[in-house]
Amino acid sequence: MKLRLQKFMADCGVGSRRACEDMILAGKVRVNDEVRTKLPVLIDPQTDKITVDERLLAVLAPESQVYYILNKPKGILVTTKDPAGRKTVYDLMPKVPQRLFSVGRLDMDARGLILMTNDGELAHRLTHPRYGVEKTYIVQVDGRMASPAVESIKKGAWLGPADGTDKPIRTGGLSVRVLARERRYTLLEVKLIEAKNQEVGRVLAKAGHKVRDILRVAIAEKITLKGLAPGQCRPLEAWEVQWLFKASSPEFHESKQAATQAWYEEKEMEKERKRLAKEGPPMDTAANEPINTAELWQPPVRKVKPGAMVRAVLRPKRGWHEPARGPRVPRPRPRYGQL
């Protein structure tokens, strides 16, 4: 049975599927003593000889899939090993026989939700932008962010090279919602599908607001940090694993896009109906009579509770200087010098 090379490597515990793709493109993988640097590469694990950095890969017995969620504190690295000896997320995980890797990354100064698993298929589906899995962040920035700055962030921005290692990129529009706006800081809710290299911090810094704190609170909306203190972890429940597979399926992503498009079209039609109700139906200048637009022009029906109009008519006008009865009498003003 033919398999993709990166999937076979991920099943053997080399790393995530995306990391295996990078290793293939870098020329570190040989298939039958031949370097393959172009994807896709299909292999037969029973007959082909696969080596990674001169290490032969053997077909491993299928191991049980495990899924953990970790609340990463600040100052913890998301990496397997650190040459400087700093603390990593693996120091916070329990000892399990499976080889775990992180789904995505968080910067050292960022905190929040990290998913740890040995399931390369699920890790690929959660990180690839084609599947449209959203990650939710709570971001605190310096200063009071005005509405025009928020709107500019939603449209995206051009980012220059980061550390001289990559090319300028055009970020997609971010889903941003203002949670709190104070004089010294602004609290935002940001949703991303694919987070490039420090994308959130760089986009906000370009808008003139430095990021003070960033917290990832959810993956696929339902997987949250509820009940987890910083530094704690727990295994995912069965329904959470099923939801991650469902939320990362192409069918779910397509249905979500279709629902969003239908919602947008309904909003546009509602705007058009309100405009026609205000202006009236358009006139046919040639025949000098209204055009029949019964399908589009539908005056909005105002729902009034029984007795509401009666109460509105009988409600007296409020005025602090008006007498209880009789005509309105102007308030007398004392002359200058009178007490």
Highest mean pLDDT among 8-12, 139-143, 197-201: 139-143
Question: Which CATH superfamily does the domain covering 67-250 fall into?
Answer: Pseudouridine synthase (3.30.2350.10)
* Pairing of the two strands 185-192 and 135-142: antiparallel
Q: Is 24 helix (H, G, I), strand (E, B) or coil?
A: helix
Indicate the pLDDT class of residue 310, thresholds 50, 70 and 90. Answer: very low
Averaged pLDDT score across all residues of the chain: 79
What's the whole-model pTM score?
Answer: 0.63
Q: With contact defined as beta carbons under 8 Å apart, do 279 and 272 qualify? A: no
The token duo for 146 is 């005005």
Set 22, 44, 53, 107: catalytic member: 107
Can you give the length of the chain in residues? 339
Confidence of residue 80 (pLDDT cuts 50, 70, 90): confident
Residue-wise pLDDT for 115-150, tens only, equals 999 888 888 888 888 888 889 999 999 989 888 888
Banded model confidence at residue 338, pLDDT cuts 50, 70, 90 = low
**Rama region for 172: left / alpha / beta (φ>0; ψ in -120 to 50; rest):** beta
Domain range annotation of the chain: 3-56, 67-250
Average pLDDT for residues 19-39, to the nearest whole number? 87
107 counts as catalytic? yes
> Which residues are within 8 A (CB) of 40 and not within 5 positions of it... i.e. 6 or more apart?
4, 5
Q: Rounded to the nearest 10 degrees, how much is the dihedral formed by the CA atoms of 252, 258, 263, 264?
A: 130
Pick the CATH number of 3-56 from 3.40.50.300, 3.10.290.10, 3.40.920.10, 1.25.40.10: 3.10.290.10
